[in-house]
Structure 1
Amino acid sequence: MAVYLVSVRLPTGDGVYQGVTLEPYVLVKRGESTLNAEDLPEEGAPEGQFQLRHRWYRSTVPRGGAVCSVHPDKEATLQCVVCQKYRVATHLSYHCTVECLKSHWHLHKEYHKQPQANGGALENGVDGAAKGAHGTSASGMESWIEVGRSRAYTPTSDDVGYVLKFEVTVIDKLHPYVAEMGRAHSQSVSSARVRPAPNPPVRSMVQMVPPSQQSNAGRFTILTYNLLADLYAKADFSNTCPAWCLHWHYRKRNLLRELLSHKADILCLQEVQSDHYIDFWAPELQRAGYVAIYKKKTTEIYTDNKYAIDGCATFFRRDRFSLVKKYEVEFNKAALSLAEGMTNPQQKKAALNRLLKDNVALIAVLEAIEPGTPDAGTRRTLICVANTHIHANPELNDVKIWQVHTLLKGLEKIAASADIPMLVAGDFNSIPGSPAHCLLVKGKIDASMMDAANDPLHLLKDQKMSHSLPLSSAVAYMHDAPLSADGKLYKQRQRLDAKHHEPLFTIMTKDFKGTLDYIFYTTSSLQPTAILELPTEADVQTRPEDLLPNPLYSSDHLAIMAEFQYKTRE
């Protein structure tokens, strides 16, 4: 029974972008049945009489003009002459309007400082694209270069400015000569020209401590970032974000570039999807010099023909720290333990229905490879890093309070066994001034907050909602830090809320704009020395209507990063 190709097309409604995988739709007819390409094996597979041969080609002549480095869906109308002088990667030098260049100049000018870090002097194909050249081979027919042999293909920087062609051929293993003679059934389809993806934004560290007060030994950086698991991205943001930059193949590379650009010593990441941790995050960051530990939520869901769920991942540089001990916190287990002490069956059932939310935390005790302070001598320099993702439902403040309190009680036990600096980082899903935030930074919750709205089932009234850890927010430290001569710290203070001195926002979506992400530290043993600059709304937008995620920022959250130094022991 013969097999024929019915149709071949590329899903390029939003255009073709560097780093965004193309997966063609291929329909095949076999007798009276219509099949998808996935129903037939690829060429070379041991099974199946009929197989599909896939080929990807790139045209040898670029198409059209240059595109804007900020808005790749728009044609460029001007080129930065300073970029040309410093031989910055060509595709980064183009802008669609003068206003575009002006509004992004504070970010764009960073490319002039490190041109090699932004792709070197030239990228294959971009200069040709700028010239708007068209051409054919000497015979008058357009020529093509083979670039791939699988069904899916991810355009690279070499493809920018060029057209791609996908060709699929039905191969009959019993009659291979048919294909060799060029008589096999084939179809091909060409793409639009490949556009460059925007580079991730440039954010610098802002010093909060004068150089004279900084220690040369023991300084380190920590970054916390909710990455937006692919499980939630398509369902939650398809109406506010272009489809091409929601594609996981694009987002993962953009997020990785952003993370590596910050060069943090410790990474606390949330919403790390379990299969992506295994297939991408762990191997990629291990190659970059990090050690990886991970704790996923306990209830998986079915997605993309497999079971997966998100969790918390902590990475640390192997040349800066070694792992002493790891603790995994499952708040569900703590909820079950709490319910066991209840004698009223209805109360127990209500408590479990309320508290079983599947959130987790990951605690790592690390040992610094170099001494923490000059006076450390032979003492081990330890630090405890807690990474968590607290429950999100805004109507369940009691659950947030209880989860934060449970985590803090666990950290208190660690602190009681060792004099150890502590960092508590993550997505707390709690705004500044909320009960959970107050518990963290004040050590207790004001009695006025423990009302029916925050404790409707009275689950918290019999528990002592306090802790003894001297925690403070790294970003809030900026409010009291001495102003610098360059004015950068003053500028950053304008991006803090007036009452609690936290960022104006770390998340910006159609449903919510505010701060949910924090880095807390023990004030008795650590001092913040620098903070990653906080962007304004205009900084995170490529156009006024943009929210998060968008082509520049591949998560709905922003990364928060701080540098610390150990305090000298008295």
Structure 2
Amino acid sequence: MGGGAARLYGALTPPLPPTSPQPADANLDPAFCQGRRSSSACPSDPAALLRQCEDALGADRAPRLHRTFTRVTDGDGVPGNGVRVMQWNILAQALGEGLDGFVRCPPEALSWSRRKYLILEEILTYRPHILCLQEVDHYHDTLQPVLAGLGYGGHFCPKPWSPCLEVEGNNGPDGCALFFDRSRYELLDSVNVRLAAMRIPTNQIAVLTTLRCRSSGTRVCVAVTHLKARSGWEWLRSAQGSDFLGHLQNLVRDPAGDPAASAAPLFVCGDFNAVPTEEVYRRFAASPLGLDSAYKKLGEDGATEPEFTSWKIRSTGECRATLDYIWYSRDSLRVDRVLDVPTEEQIGPNRLPSVSYPSDHLSLVCDFSFKEKE
């Protein structure tokens, strides 16, 4: 680990203080160095920046995954008060190149010089109002500057013991990032949380943010997390989920302390690393917060998760599973549209990541609206 990475790591270990911006990557193209300065080479228009990404990837690029929205409206909502939420584990650069061992993915497809354009292209294609990301290790030099230039506010929480730091030439620790469209939402509060299991701090974290809708004045709570990976750790994910739910219950309470006040609408996004049969999933589905999983709306019965949100081939074998979720308050929010999941044929025999898709996890995108108050 280089001296710069070591200093950065030291600054970000518990108690997880707010992080300060780092110098932009010297190899980053000017079009992706918007930051706090303006530049004619850095368009603030999403459509213009999307075209720059497409141009950078070239005319001979592999075709993108073709995905469409499915309308699943399940009730009356407040007109003109929609919100688009995007959840995505983008694959940490250091892990993709150094530790994850994607044996069927060409090395050139894992280079940051290519992946950064594919990641930004995916985000710019769907233009979410709220964006929740995991495995972010290029927050300060890429994602925060670019998205700030497009009008997003952002918060980042690094893992205290990120595996990225074990990779030579790493870009610092990976973590969770939460972005919101400042034209739509005003920031009220945002905190970083280190999740505990049986009161013992763990390596997994969360960002909990409270926003106010500028048009309606509605307080909206958003949280993003990334729970412990790998089989055999189900008990730890369950304990982390229990701790996380406690933080969420405090998050949605009325700030004035009125116990009779309605809880704020809540979005919870994350790579839970847990299939729907795991205890942590059941905890969320049965919690007093009244949460439901948006992607169940794609199922014929409206109660079944997709067959997969992640599909990869490592040296240890092939893994196809549903691990990622967008949870929402079913009493105050309705799901209007859900971005579909690609077919096996679309993904291809080498699975993810690939020359056409930058992560081993699919992005999840949903359009919501607020239900009419009774």
Alpha-carbon distance, 1:428 to partner:
0.4
Q: Relative CO higher for 1 or 2, CA cutoff 8 Å, sep ≥ 6?
A: 2
Task: Tell me what 2:61 maps to.
Answer: 197
Partner amino acid for 1:217? G
Partner amino acid for 2:221? C
- 1:416 corresponds to 2:253: yes
Q: How does 1:35-46 map to 2 (within 5 A)?
A: none
Which of 165, 174, 188 is the matching residue for 1:324? 188
Alpha-carbon distance, 1:238 to partner:
4.3
Task: Tell me what 2:294 maps to.
Answer: 474
Which of 404, 407, 431 is the matching residue for 2:275? 431
Runs of 4+ in 1 over 4 A off after TM superposition: 116-120
- 1:385 corresponds to 2:192: no
Which of 237, 241, 260 is the matching residue for 2:105? 241
CA contact (8 A) 1:224 1:518 kept: yes
Partner amino acid for 1:396? W
Supply the distance in 1 between the matched residues of 2:123 and 2:297 (Cα, whole angstroms).
23
Alpha-carbon distance, 1:307 to partner:
6.3
Alpha-carbon distance, 1:306 to partner:
5.3
SS in 2 for 1:475: helix
> What is the percent sequence identity of the aligned residues?
29
State the Cα deviation string for residues 420-475 of structure 1 (Å, max 9, x = none). 000111100110121111111123xxxxxxxxxxxxxxxxxxxxxxxx11011111
Alpha-carbon distance, 1:299 to partner:
2.3
Alpha-carbon distance, 1:414 to partner:
2.3
Supply the distance in 1 between the matched residues of 2:159 and 2:77 (Cα, whole angstroms).
40
Task: Tell me what 1:250 maps to.
Answer: 114
Which of 503, 519, 528 is the matching residue for 2:326? 519
SS in 2 for 1:563: strand
SS in 2 for 1:253: helix
Task: Tell me what 2:365 maps to.
Answer: 561
Q: How does 1:63-462 map to 2 (within 5 A)?
A: 156=56, 196-209=60-73, 213-234=76-97, 235-273=99-137, 276-300=138-162, 301-305=165-169, 308-331=172-195, 334-335=196-197, 338=198, 357-371=202-216, 380-417=217-254, 419-443=263-287
SS in 2 for 1:564: strand
Partner amino acid for 2:322? T
Supply the distance in 2 between the matched residues of 1:400 and 1:565 (Cα, whole angstroms).
30
Across the aligned residues of Structure 1 and Structure 2, the Cα RMSD in angstroms comes to 2.6
Supply the distance in 2 between the matched residues of 1:282 and 1:367 (Cα, whole angstroms).
21
Partner amino acid for 1:226? N
Alpha-carbon distance, 1:304 to partner:
3.7
SS in 1 for 2:253: helix
SS in 2 for 1:417: coil
Supply the distance in 2 between the matched residues of 1:555 and 1:389 (Cα, whole angstroms).
15
Partner amino acid for 2:225? T
> Please, what TM-score do these two structures have when normalized by structure 2?
0.77
SS in 1 for 2:103: coil
Supply the distance in 1 between the matched residues of 2:182 and 2:171 (Cα, whole angstroms).
31
Partner amino acid for 1:472? D
- 1:537 corresponds to 2:344: yes
Give the number of equivalent residue pairs: 313
Partner amino acid for 1:283? P
Q: Against the structure 1 CA distance between its residues 272 and 362, is the aligned structure 2 distance closer, same or farther, given a 3 Å change threshold?
A: same
Q: Against the structure 1 CA distance between its residues 393 and 118, is the aligned structure 2 distance closer, same or farther, given a 3 Å change threshold?
A: closer
402-411 or 469-478, which deviates more: 469-478
CA contact (8 A) 1:540 1:552 kept: no
Alpha-carbon distance, 1:117 to partner:
10
> Please, what TM-score do these two structures have when normalized by structure 1?
0.52
Task: Tell me what 1:506 maps to.
Answer: 309
Supply the distance in 2 between the matched residues of 1:434 and 1:287 (Cα, whole angstroms).
40
Alpha-carbon distance, 1:248 to partner:
1.2
State the Cα deviation string for residues 374-424 of structure 1 (Å, max 9, x = none). xxxxxx301100100000021011110011111111111223335300011
Q: Against the structure 1 CA distance between its residues 267 and 388, is the aligned structure 2 distance closer, same or farther, given a 3 Å change threshold?
A: same
SS in 2 for 1:295: strand
Task: Tell me what 1:189 maps to.
Answer: none
CA contact (8 A) 1:432 1:500 kept: no
SS in 1 for 2:358: coil
Supply the distance in 1 between the matched residues of 2:107 and 2:273 (Cα, whole angstroms).
26
CA contact (8 A) 2:50 2:124 kept: no
Partner amino acid for 1:552? S
Unaligned runs of 5+ in 2: 1-47, 256-262
Supply the distance in 2 between the matched residues of 1:414 and 1:527 (Cα, whole angstroms).
20
Q: Against the structure 1 CA distance between its residues 395 and 215, is the aligned structure 2 distance closer, same or farther, given a 3 Å change threshold?
A: same
State the Cα deviation string for residues 65-105 of structure 1 (Å, max 9, x = none). xxxxxxxxxxxxxxxxxxxxxxxxxxxxxxxxxxxxxxxxx
Q: Against the structure 1 CA distance between its residues 200 and 416, is the aligned structure 2 distance closer, same or farther, given a 3 Å change threshold?
A: same
Alpha-carbon distance, 1:119 to partner:
5.8
SS in 2 for 1:219: strand
Supply the distance in 1 between the matched residues of 2:65 and 2:78 (Cα, whole angstroms).
29
Larger radius of gyration: 1
Task: Tell me what 1:99 maps to.
Answer: none
Unaligned runs of 5+ in 1: 1-115, 124-155, 161-194, 340-351, 372-379, 444-467, 480-492
Alpha-carbon distance, 1:214 to partner:
4.9
Alpha-carbon distance, 1:216 to partner:
2.2
Partner amino acid for 1:255? I
Q: Against the structure 1 CA distance between its residues 409 and 118, is the aligned structure 2 distance closer, same or farther, given a 3 Å change threshold?
A: closer
Q: Against the structure 1 CA distance between its residues 421 and 392, is the aligned structure 2 distance closer, same or farther, given a 3 Å change threshold?
A: same
